[in-house]
Amino acid sequence: MIPFYIETYGCQMNVSDSQVVARILSDNGYEPCNCWEDARIVLINTCSIRENAEKRVMSRLDFFARAKRKDPQLKVGVLGCMATRLMNSLLNHPAVDCVAGPDSYRLLPGMLEAPDPKSYTLLPGMSLKPPALPVNVELSVSETYAEIRPLRETNPGVTSFVTIMRGCNNMCAYCVVPYVRGRERSRDPYSILEEVRSLVKTGYREVTLLGQNVDSYLWQPQNGSETVSFARLLEQVALVSPLMRVRFTTSHPKDMQDDVLLTMARYPNICKHIHLPVQSGSDKVLQKMNRKYTRESYLERIARIREILPGCAISSDMIAGFCSETEEDHALTLSLMEAVRYDQAFMFQYSQRPGTLAARHYPDDVPEEVKTRRLAEIIALQNRLSLQSNQADVGKVFEVLAEGISKRSSRAFFGRTTTNKVCVFPRENRAIGDYVRVLVKSCTAATLKGEIVNENQ
């Protein structure tokens, strides 16, 4: 058995993809190990969403180039979005032995067995060319890895991810995903349900359904059987076990419909949290971003969430300093945040991604210092909103799934409420994987702090 190690960068979907790769390799004579020093093959699963993510990977490849000078037998492969976007530069990197895009993982065993062209030596007078590095970054219109059971930890965890679809059709102006992950395609719902049932049997207590835009999930079988929408899939997953919590991400404001909200209201094990990225509060910027909704329609969707799911937490993504964003546009984003009162948010400074619609058509003309200042204002506002949201939970009792030991104290557990808020509480005689009722006693902007209460309290 050849030991391999996978380093994963970027989003939850990459974590899921790495588990798929681990299964493919383990079924073909390779064995996973816990650190790269014990491996003969290191695979780096990459993300191209932001420039900083790519810089981290390139720095890591430089590290492995030095490691390979000490151990020439070590093989390094690059997987995922960077493999698609930066194929040529990666093939020229001294550390890299193979490059595989996100739809090429089934080919990895053969690619890793290919001869190493970097160790190929021509004898005097020979005119043969050394073999090329193994590479495949072709994007698929059908690959979903549906029947491949991801290889998770040897010891079952508490939470896990299940990918329900791949690719994206939305073509947002700032986003590189459609170019590096291809067109949208939905996975067979029967394979999804089978994977969830397997998670229940092995002791997992929470599953997150993953897709670039889960609300556009649609399975249309050719045999004429039932068409499955995301609302229907969500219901089927919730029915697998009442003890399995269900989350999902990410939703798109133009696609989230009432049927999903009504399904969430119907099943108590579907967590009451929706991540609904807005990116900007300005209609002018939203149009330039090609988001296909307006500020008004977004706020109408928020109102429906509040109406159908009272107490549902809402989180979002914000981009500061998109192309030609004015101070008025920025103020509109701040005012929308105040109107929605997000519980949490992921906030970023715009960085142009090569090949996107924005890079081709719009100048990146907001000065860096202005972007930095606007982002700081967005962060400061969200910190205040998050603190106020958490303060409103003090004195309330929540069901919390104990996910692990707190980083600050070995005598405390951490877990999340149904609204996706992190909660820290004393361990007492409870175990990881238990559902516990926690009375919130205090909070910070990021964390609830409480104590376990008995069922009759």
Could you tell me which residues are beta bridge partners of residue 30?
Answer: 2
- Per-residue confidence of the chain (457 residues) as pLDDT tens digits? 899 999 999 889 999 999 999 999 999 999 999 999 999 999 999 999 888 889 999 999 999 999 999 999 999 999 999 999 999 999 999 999 999 999 999 999 999 987 766 654 444 554 444 446 899 999 999 999 999 999 997 667 899 999 999 999 999 999 999 999 999 999 999 999 999 999 999 999 999 999 999 999 999 988 777 899 999 999 999 999 999 999 999 999 999 999 999 999 999 999 999 999 999 999 999 999 999 999 999 999 999 999 999 999 999 999 999 999 999 999 999 999 999 999 999 999 999 999 999 999 999 999 999 999 999 999 999 999 999 999 999 999 999 999 999 999 999 999 999 999 999 999 999 999 999 999 999 999 999 999 999 866 5
Secondary structure element (H or E) that encloses residue 418, with its range: none
Could you tell me which residues are beta bridge partners of residue 135?
Answer: 99
On the CB side of 183, how many CA atoms lie within 13 Å of its CA? 5
Identify the pLDDT of residue 157. 85
Q: What is the rounded end-to-end Cα distance, in angstroms, of the chain?
A: 55
DSSP for 98-141 reads EEE-TT-GGGHHHHHTS--GGG--PPTT--PPPPPPPEE----S
- Structure tokens belonging to residue 134: 């193994």
Largest CA distance in the chain: 87
Give the single-character DSSP code of 38.
G
What structural domains and CATH numbers belong to the chain?
2-121+132-136 (3.40.50.12160), 159-391 (3.80.30.20), 397-452 (2.40.50.140)
CA distance 19 to 14: 9
Cβ distance 99 to 45 under 8 Å?
Answer: no
Identify the pLDDT of residue 123. 46
Identify the pLDDT of residue 199. 96
Model pLDDT for residues 138-175, shown as the tens digit of each residue: 999 999 999 999 999 766 789 999 999 999 999 999 99
Residue 37: phi and psi, rounded to 5, are -65, -25
CA distance 439 to 295: 37
pTM for the whole structure: 0.94
Identify the pLDDT of residue 243. 93
Of 251, 322, 257, 316, which Cα lies nearest the Cα of 286? Answer: 322
Identify the pLDDT of residue 119. 53
**Residue 398 contacts by C-beta under 8 Å, 6 or more apart in sequence?**
417, 418, 419, 423, 437, 438, 440, 448, 450
Give the residue carrying structure tokens 């491949």.
148
- Structure tokens belonging to residue 452: 């376990």
Cβ distance 396 to 438 under 8 Å?
Answer: no
CA distance 118 to 81: 24
Q: How many CB atoms lie within 10 A of CB 165?
A: 24
Residue 261: phi and psi, rounded to 5, are -65, -40
DSSP for 176-218 reads -HHHHH-S-EEPPHHHHHHHHHHHHHTT--EEEEE-TTGGG-E
Identify the pLDDT of residue 457. 55
Q: How many CB atoms lie within 10 A of CB 210?
A: 22
Could you tell me which residues are beta bridge partners of residue 76?
Answer: 42
Q: Would you say the C-alpha torsion 92, 94, 97, 99 has a positive or negative sign?
A: negative
Identify the pLDDT of residue 416. 98
